[in-house]
A and B are shown apart, each in its own frame.
Chain A
Amino acid sequence: MASLNIRNVKKAFGPMEVLKGIDLDLDDGEFLVLLGPSGCGKSTLLNMIAGLDSITSGEITIDERVLNNVHPKDRDIAMVFQSYALYPNMTVGRNIGFGLEMRKVAKAERDQKVQDAARMLQIDHLLDRKPAQLSGGQRQRVAMGRALVRDPKIFLFDEPLSNLDAKLRVEMRTEIKKLHQRLGTTMVYVTHDQIEAMTLASRIAIMKDGIVQQFAPPQEVYEKPANMYVAGFVGAPAMNFIPATLVAENGKLGVSMQRTAKGNRSDVFLALNDERKELADWVGRELVLGIRPESVTHKSEAELNGTRNLQHFDCQVDVLEPTGADTLTYIELGGREVIARVNPHNTSNPGETMDFMVDMDKASLFDPKTEQRI
C-alpha cells in the first residue's frame, strides 16, 4: 500500500537521452499502466522504480521516501519480468520463497507463505517441480507467486503476458485484475498492448520518445486523446483522421470536407457542439477531425431526434468488411479513407450511396501542425 511519485525523472545512456523528464503521481492502490511502442523507455522507467537502473536526474519516492539511492532489496517492491526470470536450478517452491529466504524468514513461516501464495494462484500442486517442467502459463503464475509472497508496497510488471498465447493472455489479464482488486496494492504495469492497458489501468501513461504524452484514466484517454499520437495508438480499428476546414454556417460552427455521393463530389457540413465557441479563431482554417469508427454509423431517424448532436450525410460505400457484430464500412471523406461501424443489416453494397450518421459529441479536433488536441 503506497503512493508513488515520479518527479522530473530523466535517464541518459551516455549521450542518448532515453527519458526526458517524466512526472507521474500515483495514489495508494492505483493501477498505473505504462503504454507505448517498443523502445520508448517503459522498461527503463520501471527498472528505475525498481532500483535496477540509476536515475540520471529527478526523484522517485514511495510514500514520500526518496528512493534514488536505496538498494532494490530495500525498496519494498516486487517485480514480474517478461521472461519470468525463474531460477532454473530451484524448485517452484524455492523460487517463490527465495525472497523470504534472503530476508531470513524462518523456514516454517516461509513454507506457510509459499503455500498461501501458491494456493491463491492455483499452483500449489507444482511446488516440487523445476521451472523447465512447467508450461508457459504455469511459469507466469510462479513469477507472480514470487512477487505475491513478499507482500510488497508496490508491484511492478514488465510485459508479463506477452509470451503467452492469445487465450491464456486474456485469462491471466482477468486474473491480474482480480488480484489487484483483492489486494488493493499499488501496481505499475508495462505493456505495448492497448487492450491490456484499457482493461487493467486505473490510469494510463502513454509514452513516446521518452515523454509522457498523456496521463489519464482509460476512458478519458479513449474519448479525449491529448494528441493524434495517443488517438491513433489507443483503439482498434484506429480513430479516423479527416482533414477538414472549420466553417460557420447559419450561425453554427462546424467542419466541412469533401465526399462523393450519387456520383457527385460535394462538401458536407458537420455541425460541432454549441459549447465549442472558443473555436471561433479557427474559422476558415484547416484542422483534423478525429472520429472513432463506432461514432460513424448508419442513419437512424429515431436517434436523430434525441438530445445528442448527431449529424448525418450521404456517401458512397467503397468496401465492406463484415466482422460479425458490425460491418466495417470503408468510405472516403476529405480525401481520406474512413471506417464506419455499421449494423450488418443496414449496409449498402460497394458503389452505392448510403446515409450515415456521426456522433459529433464524440468528435475530437486536432491542430494539423502540432497534432495536439484543440
Chain B
Amino acid sequence: MADSIAFTSDRTLWHRIGRIGIYTLLAVFAFYYIMPLIVIVSTSMKDLDEIRTGHLLSLPAQINLDAWTFAWSEACIGVTCTGLKPYFWNSLAMAVPAVLISIMLGAITGYALTKFRFRGANVIFAMILFGCFIPFQVILLPMATSLGYLGVANTIPGLVLVHVVYGLPFTTLFFRNYYVNIPDDLVKAATIDGAGFFTIFWKIMLPLSLPIIVVTIIWQFTQIWNDFLFGASFTSGGNQPVTVALNNLVNTTTGVKRYNVDMAAALMTAAPTLLVYIFAGRYFVRGLTAGAVKG
C-alpha cells in the first residue's frame, strides 16, 4: 500500500514538472514567433522621430496611423506615387478568379480521376502529381513565350492563367484525395437513378466537398497572393501585384528611409492571407484531418 501511495505522489510530481516544462517551451516558441509581428505592428504606428530615438522593442507612445494612409495612397513605387492601393486591387483581381477557377477545375479533375476511373487514370494522376514538384524557375521562359503568344503578356488575366495552370496539380491532388474517401456506391446509386457526370458532380459531390474546398481556398489564396516571382517576371508597371509593389516601395529610396511606412505596407500586403486564416483556419485543420476521422 505504502509503496503505491509513494508511487502515485511521485507520479503527480513528475506530471507537474512535465507540464511546467511543456508550457515553458510553448511560451518560448510563441514569443519567438510573435516577436517580429509585434515589432512590425508597433513600428508602423510610430513616427520617424520615435523610431530614430526609441528602442526597437518599445511600444509606440500613441497610436499614429499616418504611415498607414501614406503607404496606402501616397508612397512612391518607382516613379509613380500612388501608394499600394492600385496594386492591392491588382492582386485581388488576380487571386480571386485564379483561386476559383483552379478549385473548380481541380474538383472536376479529382472527381473524374476517382469516380470515373478510365484506362490510364493512374498514369495521368502520376503526371499531374509530378506537376507539384516542378520548380517555378523552370517554367518562366516557356510561360513567358506562351503568354506572349496568347496575347496576355503583362496583363492580370495572364497572371490568372499562370496561377491556374500552376495551381491545378495541387487542387487536383487535394480533391482526388478527398474524393477517394467518398464511397463509390454513391456514384453508382446516382448513375442508376439517372444522373450523369455533371449532375452527380453538382448535386452530390460538390455539396459534400465543403471542408476540402475551404482547405484548397486557403492553400491557393495564400500561394497566389504571396507569389512574387511570377508577378515580377510577367508584369511590369501598373499591372504588378501588391507583393512586387511592396518590394519596389521598400526599395524606392528618396531621401530618408521610412521604416514605419515600410512596415505598414508589409502588414497591408499580408492582411488578406491573415484574414483568410483567421476566418477559415478551423476548417483548414478539420479538412486536413477529415479523411482520418471519418473512418
Contacts and interface: CB of A to CB of B under 8 A. Distances in A.
Interface of A: 47, 50-52, 72-73, 77-79, 81-83, 85, 87-89, 98-99, 102-103, 146
B192 A98 contact: no
Interface string B168-187: 00000000000000010110
Contacts of B195: 98, 102
Interface in B183-212: 183, 185-186, 188-195, 199, 203-204, 207-208
Given A83-B185, A85-B183, A85-B186, A77 B207 contact: no
B186 A87 contact: yes
B185 A85 contact: yes
Contacts of A52: 188, 191-192
B192 A89 contact: no
Most buried by A among B188, B190, B204, B208: B188
Contacts of B186: 85, 87
Q: Closest 9 CB pairs between A and B?
A: A102-B194, A85-B185, A89-B207, A99-B193, A73-B194, A85-B189, A81-B185, A72-B192, A83-B185
Nearest to B195: A102
Given A87-B204, A88-B208, A102-B199, A73 B192 contact: yes
Contacts of B183: 83, 85
Contacts of A79: 188-189, 192
Contacts of B204: 87, 89
Contacts of B190: 87, 98
Contacts of A102: 193-195, 199
Contacts of B193: 73, 98-99, 102, 146
Given A52-B192, A79-B192, A87-B190, 10 more contacts: A47-B188, A72-B191, A73-B191, A79-B189, A81-B185, A83-B185, A85-B188, A89-B204, A99-B192, A146-B193
A287 to B, nearest CB: 46
A50 B192 contact: yes
Contacts of B191: 52, 72-73
B49 to A, nearest CB: 60
Contacts of A83: 183, 185
Most buried by B among A51, A78, A98: A98
Contacts of B199: 102
Which of the four size classes fits the interface of chain B? 10 to 19
A81 B188 contact: yes
Contacts of A146: 189, 193
B213 to A, nearest CB: 13
A156 to B, nearest CB: 9
Contact of A81 (B189, B194, B203, B208): B189
17 contacts: A72-B191, A79-B188, A81-B185, A81-B189, A82-B185, A85-B186, A87-B189, A98-B190, A98-B195, A99-B192, A99-B193, A102-B193, A102-B194, A102-B199, A103-B194, A146-B189, A146-B193
Most buried by B among A47, A77, A79, A102: A102
Nearest to B207: A89
B206 to A, nearest CB: 9
B207 A78 contact: no
Contacts of A87: 186, 189-190, 203-204
A196 B188 CA distance: 25
A146 B208 CA distance: 20
Most buried by A among B190, B194, B207: B194
A74 to B, nearest CB: 9
Most buried by B among A50, A72, A103, A146: A72
A98 B204 CA distance: 11
Contacts of A72: 191-192
A73 B194 CA distance: 5
Contacts of A85: 183, 185-186, 188-189
A155 B188 CA distance: 15
A332 B195 CA distance: 60
Nearest to A83: B185
A89 B183 CA distance: 14
Nearest to B210: A89
Contacts of A103: 194
A101 to B, nearest CB: 8
Contacts of A88: 208
Most buried by B among A50, A51, A77, A81: A81
